[in-house]
Structure 1
Amino acid sequence: MPDKLMTLREAIATYVEDGMTVALEGFSHLIPFAAAHEIIRQGRRDLTLCRMTPDIISDQLIAADCVSKLVASFFASGSAGSLYEIRRRIESHDPVALEVEEYSHYGMVCRYQAGAAGLPFFPLRSYAGSDLPRINPNIRLVEDPFSGGSVYVVPPLNPDVTIIHAQRADRSGNVQIWGIAGVQQEAVYAAKKAIVVVEEIVDDDVIRSDPSRTLVPSHAVDAV
């Protein structure tokens, strides 16, 4: 298997370019802080940032002028308080307006699932009674070919690059994750390229000894 190990600086320089659509996914202990900070250090511009829960790293990327569009759901920063930069951009257009494409949490999951599976759209019922279809034209109501009723659909999401954080991987890119896994697997498979930042590089036999933890296999990973 090819060796995909590189420094974080090399991975961002190689796979993240200005104008790209970049997904940074992971909750709690799996938030890819280091990758976001490296994107800021390298001064990337005009990115479309995809993140299911825009949080403090989203706020930092926007404040650093790395992001011109946000595709997201559930705006929150936990105990860190309000998302001050995002609020300034949306509420006051200060210093410039931020383009936002908003979905529900499950809507974002469905977009990644559609992107990973190569589907043209993904159906879901949870937008019934919601105002989100009114403000987001990409959430559309279509006829159900089986029941004759109608159902909302969302388009696939295929980032240019997905970046996730995980506990460990081998040098080939077999990635093991435990805890709240979220949508990392779908986001990686939906992307054209994938970077995984890990806390530990382990030998192949460690990965093989506990295969159920391998959520992202090497064939889906470009850099570790």
Structure 2
Amino acid sequence: MAEIVSLADAVGELVRDGDAVALEGFTHLIPFAAGQEIIRQRRRDLTLIRMTPDVIYDQLIGMGCARRLVFSWGGNPGVGSLHRLRDAVENGWPRPLELEEHSHAGMANRYVAGASGLPFAVLRGYVGTDLPGQTANIRPIECPFTGEVLTAVPALRPDVSVIHAQRADRQGNVQLWGITGVQKEAVLAAKRSLVTVEEVVDELTPVPGAVVLPTWALTRVAVAPNGAHPSYAHGYSTRDNDFYVAWDDISRDRDRFTAWMETHVL
């Protein structure tokens, strides 16, 4: 049963140095508040997992939280590069960053395999690419029925998965809607989970297309209004496009980045 606690207590309990941590959300419902709390608690040596690492991962990497990144695309959406990620890869600042790159389909199927209790996923998505030559855990596998050569990738089972959602009820059941991405699969694949929400309500009223995560499938829920900013929570907030543009300049320079983080996050 998910207990509703403060964000600081949830991160303090669930996220440990050396953990594999997935922070998922696509276009909206990106768990910025939770990611910044991880930074404030100065977690280190994390393996960060995300299909599309964007600004929150730039912040985590730039503040020295990450040892390794497992991903399928990285960038400041609509703007350009992630300069802190790039500096870590190219120059080892503030520490070297290992990369494990997959396709979108590969990452999504890895989450599904983890959520299903399977050891690996099978797909065609890597055929014709050079990713198998760059990533050690992408392997060919022969179909036992047809003889076709496919690709196997190991299941993703994060130590902790973190997502943001619109609301929870007082028992810790969570409801999210809009573009739902792989949040459900990431939570079900993880050993522990944290969901930040815009609000806690007495009852979850039906919403078309909504995903409901039952309290027994979650570990902790924390209230974090506007917890997806500068992304958005459908029905609650709008995307702060100006912030994404401004981040390009803020993150280019190490000193400016550090000063901004000290002022606005730490």
Q: TM-score, normalised by structure 2?
A: 0.79
Any unmatched runs of 5+ in structure 2? Answer: 222-266
**SS of equivalent to 1:34:** helix
User: How far apart in 2 are the matches of 1:92 and 1:62?
Assistant: 13
8 Å CA contact retained: 1:12, 1:35: yes
Question: Could you say which residue in structure 2 is the equivalent of 1:220?
Answer: 217
Structure 1 residue 115, shift from structure 2 partner = 0.5
Aligned ranges for residues 60-139 of structure 1 at < 5 Å?
60-139=59-138
Pairwise CA RMSD of aligned residues? Answer: 1.5
**SS of equivalent to 1:65:** coil
Identical columns (%): 54
Paired amino acid for 2:85? I
User: How far apart in 1 are the matches of 2:192 and 2:26?
Assistant: 20
Q: TM-score, normalised by structure 1?
A: 0.94
Aligned ranges for residues 1-224 of structure 1 at < 5 Å?
4-203=3-202, 206-207=203-204, 209=206, 213-224=210-221
User: How far apart in 2 are the matches of 1:94 and 1:11?
Assistant: 29
CA pair 3-95 structure 1, distance change in 2 beyond 3 A: closer
User: How far apart in 1 are the matches of 2:133 and 2:206?
Assistant: 50
User: How far apart in 1 are the matches of 2:9 and 2:135?
Assistant: 36
CA pair 190-51 structure 1, distance change in 2 beyond 3 A: same
User: How far apart in 2 are the matches of 1:37 and 1:186?
Assistant: 23
Number of aligned pairs? 221
CA pair 85-210 structure 1, distance change in 2 beyond 3 A: closer
8 Å CA contact retained: 1:3, 1:171: no
CA pair 7-211 structure 1, distance change in 2 beyond 3 A: farther
8 Å CA contact retained: 1:142, 1:152: yes
User: How far apart in 1 are the matches of 2:51 and 2:209?
Assistant: 25
User: How far apart in 2 are the matches of 1:53 and 1:198?
Assistant: 21
User: How far apart in 1 are the matches of 2:209 and 2:85?
Assistant: 38
Paired amino acid for 2:220? A
Any unmatched runs of 5+ in structure 1? Answer: none
CA pair 40-104 structure 1, distance change in 2 beyond 3 A: same
1:8-28: CA deviations, max 9, x gaps?
001000111111111100012
User: How far apart in 1 are the matches of 2:98 and 2:2?
Assistant: 38
1:82-137: CA deviations, max 9, x gaps?
20011112223334321011101111101101101111111010111101111001
